[in-house]
Structure 1
Amino acid sequence: MLYMHDLWVNWFEGEENGYNVCRFHEWRKEDGIEIVDQIPLLLIEDQLFECIQNDLQDLPMSLLQDVQKRTYMKKNQERHTIEYAAVVTNGQDVLVFDTLGYTLPVKKSRLIPRQERLVFEMVHGKKPASYRMEEPVTKEYHILSLEPEKMAGLTRRERQLKQLLMMALDQLKHSDYPEEVRYWLTEWNPAEYRFIKELTNEEAWERLYYGAAHGWSIHHEELCGKLIKGQPFFETIWEGENQKAAKHIKSQN
């Protein structure tokens, strides 16, 4: 079995979508980077890699048995054993997972570029191991878990705010004041005011959702900021993300 040593990891916990497991250039100082003393490296097939990267399904038992208690982390100069963890690659991309003792990839991380390159060198010319998923379930995307193409090209801050916008739109859909939907659609697209008046609430919401679900712009950001106004939970997320992003930009300059 192949092993890697002194690995830098930045864990993202409970993330089912790979776009929320940030690449190295989006890591922030407050993320809390850890160093893994030793961890197995597995070359696996594309389908399983995609499942680990973009889902939270149970991993193949044979894979878990292969990596069981083979990962070590150092804390306060003491070596601790991790139940199930590994670096996995399909030869094109790389991911690290830790199940926290469960059977699904609860924590995920990317690697720093130097260590990513080392992964590709180590598996070059080798055949992927074949692990069979017990009962693979087709991933279903929805408003609170958007398709990867709807997040493509966005920065970490933009992805977080877009998820916040989707949460606000989902809440709007179930609002006790359905007339609000047409109001916000008019805010989004004032040029169609006369047409919007003729839409049902459901039609208006669908139009607003499909318009906002694609891309990201200052228009999206303004809508998000207005929609969450007066909602403490959403406002806390908004302010926190903007502060973290500002600190990250400052540290890069």
Structure 2
Amino acid sequence: MNYESDVWVKWESGKVNGNDVSEFHEWQKEDKVELIKQIPLIRVTTEFMDYVEYGLNRLPEDLLVSTENEAEVNNGKKIKNAFIISNGERILAVHTNNTKIPIYKSRLIPRQELQFLHTINEMAVTEYAFTPKKNVYGYLNLEPRALYGLFRKERNLKQVLYMALNDLKITDNKDVNKLRYLYGEWNYEGLNGVKDYTYEEIIDRLGEEMLMGWTDKHKRVTEFLVQDDVLLGEIFAAYDKPQVK
């Protein structure tokens, strides 16, 4: 097995969508960054890379056995299962936190990413048996293309927007006039096209039209949606703070 030494990581927990794992340029001053003294490096197929990067799926037993206690942090403490995987193009550090799924994920610093990719391309692919999972996407689990190309702050705010839309979908107070007003804030030119839509149809239309990108209009709609929701308002305010690098 190949190993890499003195690897810097910023573990992020529960990231189903690989696009939501912060790239190095998005790491911030207050983020906790850890130095891993030794960690296995494994070349995998693109299909297995997708399985790990875009899900919280159960890892193959032979991968867990081969990497058990093979990683260690600066004080010599062993990590039960941590490793870096790559298909030769993408690369990701993984930490199971004593489970059988990739609870923690991290990108790498650019210098080490380039170095490890060079090493990976000299390595043989390790094949693992696994059952591909079809991810079910929705307002609380956005599909990868909805977050592609967005910065960390934009991704976080986009998720707040869709959490607020989801609350509108399940609320008992279905005010279609308020929803039409909201749609007009988003797409005034298209307002006449939804005048005969039901409450649910307008939400679905909003969800489809706002799926890609992040603009000032996305932000204005989000601000409107969270103004009467204390919890989402606090989350929005926390994510909307100026970022310090």
- TM-score for the superposition, normalised by structure 1: 0.92
Higher alpha-carbon deviation: 195-204 or 14-23: 195-204
Match of 1:224 among 222, 225, 228: 222
Mean CA deviation greater in 231-240 or 89-98 = 231-240
Pairwise mapping of residues 1-253 of structure 1 onto structure 2 (< 5 A)? Answer: 1-74=1-74, 78-133=75-130, 135-178=131-174, 179=176, 180-243=178-241, 246-248=242-244, 251=245
Q: Deviations over 1:5-52 (max 9, x none)?
A: 111000110111111111101111111100001111101111111111
- Corresponding residue SS for 2:240: helix
Aligned residue type for 1:81: K
Q: Distance in 1 between matches of 2:192 and 2:82?
A: 57
Counterpart amino acid of residue 230 in structure 1:
D
The more displaced of 100-109 and 112-121 is 112-121
How far has the Cα of 1:125 moved from its partner?
2.8
Structure 2 unmatched ranges of 5 or more: none
What letter corresponds to residue 4 of structure 1 in structure 2?
E
- Report which stretch shifted further, 113-122 or 88-97: 113-122
Counterpart contact for 1:22–1:109, Cα < 8 Å? yes
Q: Distance in 2 between matches of 1:130 and 1:35?
A: 28
SS in structure 2 of the partner of residue 79 of structure 1: coil
Structure 1 Cα separation of the partners of residues 19 and 191 of structure 2: 35
Please list the CA deviations of residues 94-129 of structure 1 after superposition, one character each: whole Å capped at 9, or x if unmatched: 100000111000000010011111112222232211
How many positions carry a matched residue from both structures?
Answer: 243
Letter in 2 for 1:113: P
Q: Which amino acid aligns with 1:151?
A: L
Q: Give SS of 1:72's match.
A: strand
The amino acid across from 1:188 in the alignment is W
Deviant stretches of 4+, over 4 Å: none
Structural RMSD (CA): 1.3
The answer to whether the 8 Å contact 1:9/1:35 transfers is: yes
TM-score of the pair, normalised by structure 2? 0.95
One-letter amino acid of the counterpart of residue 132, structure 1 = A
> Would the alpha carbon gap of residues 44 and 200 (structure 1) be closer, same or farther in structure 2, given more than 3 Å must change?
same
Shift of the 37–241 alpha-carbon distance from structure 1 to 2, 3 Å rule, reads: same
Separation in structure 2 between the aligned mates of residue 44 and residue 194 of structure 1, nearest angstrom: 51
Give the Cα separation in 1 of the matches to 2:101 and 2:219.
34
The secondary structure found in structure 1 opposite 2:76 is strand
CA separation of 1:5/1:183 partners in 2, compared to 1, >3 Å: closer, same or farther? same
Distance in 1 (CA, whole Å) between partners of 2:145 and 2:195 is 31
1:40 alignment partner, SS class: strand
Q: Are the aligned partners of 2:51 and 2:133 in contact in 1 as well (CA < 8 Å)?
A: no
Kindly state the Cα deviation for residue 175 of structure 1 after the two structures are TM-superposed: 2.0
The question of whether the paired residues in 2 share the 8 Å contact of 1:173 and 1:181 is answered with: no
Residue 142 of structure 1 aligns to a residue whose secondary structure is: coil
> What SS does the corresponding residue of 1:55 show, helix, strand or coil?
coil
The percent of aligned pairs where both chains have the same amino acid is 33
Give yes or no for contact 1:14–1:107 (8 Å, CA) kept in 2: yes
Find the residue that maps to 1:114 and give its secondary structure. Answer: helix
Stretch deviating more after TM superposition (202-211 or 5-14):
202-211
SS at match of 2:196: coil
Q: Runs of 5+ in structure 1 lacking a partner?
A: none
